[in-house]
């Protein structure tokens, strides 16, 4: 890339030329969030992907999100700035093993968290995100038997909230599992007024201490509406960009991890850069595609989710 290029200007030009829309998750780097047409949580992003009239969707997020966009808008071209932007949670549930797991519970309905492969969605009855998982489980009859996967932490949280007995797949997110309870307790001693905001992908020991539990959009809204001035944020650190932008006078502290790594960045989300975004828009690849037969099966549980959360 010519170093004299203003990537913001170039991306704007290419977007018009190609009738493209940029959808970005809150975990993306600040420059990508700033150039995006829409920033959101997984539910908001799928709703946007389903209704856009652009010809090209640049999905600044990870592979399963781009796949979901393709399933909802199969005639559009879906680009992912770095095709290797995966997800440890999606990887923790290989479809061939989930198929065997599912066979053990033939009378159970399958709810899958959106953080999974398209193939897994194709084996599901309903998809959910962290913002509607409780609502989706509650929309089902009380005696309905349910398998929930792949995130055991979100599953345990939903089971606790709804009082339902869910059969859980043993998967987790590498970013949300590293928060240290002890370090958060020490941080709370230093900032006694600080509220702990946590994503439900965190372990129960962290969720038990939280003042608010919700999706990235939920966390952002809570921080903006709450009169408090200090917040400890137990999710991927990319969300702090919007929190700080919406609330310049408030203090946001990333929850400390239990190892000595300095940050809570998702290595998959952070594979995308502004340069890669520019190049994928210019070149028309990497493109994310999903086989027709998988689209036909996976679209149903995703649409069911969108109907329930409309």
Answer positive or negative: Cα dihedral of 287, 172, 209, 211.
positive
Whole-angstrom distance, CA of residue 89 vs CA of residue 201 = 10
> Is 303 assigned to a binding site?
no
Whole-angstrom distance, CA of residue 129 vs CA of residue 298 = 15
Write the binding mask 221 to 260 for ligand 13P: x where contact by CB under 6 A, - elsewhere.
----------------------------------------
Tell me how far, at minimum, the Cβ of 186 lies from ligand 13P, in Å.
26
Query: Are 64 and 271 in contact, with CB atoms under 8 Å apart?
Result: no
Q: Does the footprint of ligand 13P cover residue 42 (CB under 6 A)?
A: yes
Among 43, 66, 147, 266, binds ligand SF4 (CB under 6 A): 266
Whole-angstrom distance, CA of residue 117 vs CA of residue 297 = 13
Closest CA to 149 of 118, 107, 121: 121
Say which DSSP state 247 is in.
-
Write the binding mask 190 to 229 for ligand SF4: x where contact by CB under 6 A, - elsewhere.
----------------------------------------
Among 67, 82, 119, 201, binds ligand 13P (CB under 6 A): 201
Q: Does the footprint of ligand 13P cover residue 29 (CB under 6 A)?
A: no
β strands within 88-211, DSSP E? 109-113, 126-128, 146-149, 166-168, 195-198
Tell me how far, at minimum, the Cβ of 76 lies from ligand SF4, in Å.
22
Binding site for ligand 13P (CB under 6 A): 41-42, 115, 129-131, 173, 199, 201, 215-216
User: Could you list the residues that contact ligand SF4 (CB under 6 A)?
Assistant: 27, 62, 87-89, 115, 173-175, 236, 266, 268-269
């Amino acid at each position: 890339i010519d170093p004299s290029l203003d990537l913001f200007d170039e991306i704007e030009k290419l977007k018009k030329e190609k009738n493209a829309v940029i959808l970005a998750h809150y975990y993306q780097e600040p420059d990508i969030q700033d150039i995006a047409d829409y920033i959101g949580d997984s539910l908001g992003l799928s709703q946007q992907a389903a209704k856009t009239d652009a010809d090209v969707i640049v999905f600044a997020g990870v592979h399963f999100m781009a796949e979901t966009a393709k399933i909802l808008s199969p005639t559009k071209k879906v680009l992912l700035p770095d095709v290797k932007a995966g997800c440890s949670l999606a990887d923790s549930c290989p479809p061939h093993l989930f198929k065997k797991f599912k066979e053990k519970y033939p009378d159970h309905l399958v709810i899958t968290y959106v953080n999974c492969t398209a193939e897994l969605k194709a084996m599901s009855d309903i998809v959910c995100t962290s913002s509607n998982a409780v609502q989706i489980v509650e929309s089902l009859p009380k005696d309905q038997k349910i398998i929930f996967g792949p995130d055991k932490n979100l599953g345990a949280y939903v089971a606790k909230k709804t009082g339902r007995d869910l059969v859980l797949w043993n998967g987790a997110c590498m970013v949300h599992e590293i928060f240290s309870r002890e370090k958060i307790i020490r941080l709370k001693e230093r900032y006694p007024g600080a509220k702990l905001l946590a994503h439900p992908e965190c372990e129960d020991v962290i969720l038990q201490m939280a003042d608010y539990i919700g999706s990235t959009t939920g966390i952002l809204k809570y921080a903006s509406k709450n009169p408090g001035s200090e917040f400890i944020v137990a999710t991927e650190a990319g969300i702090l960009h919007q929190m700080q932008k919406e609330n310049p006078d408030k203090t946001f502290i990333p929850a400390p991890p239990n190892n000595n790594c300095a940050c809570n960045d998702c290595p998959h989300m952070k594979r995308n850069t502004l340069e890669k975004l520019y190049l994928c828009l210019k070149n028309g690849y990497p493109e994310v595609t999903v086989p027709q037969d998988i689209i036909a099966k996976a679209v149903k549980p995703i649409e069911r989710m969108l109907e329930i959360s409309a």
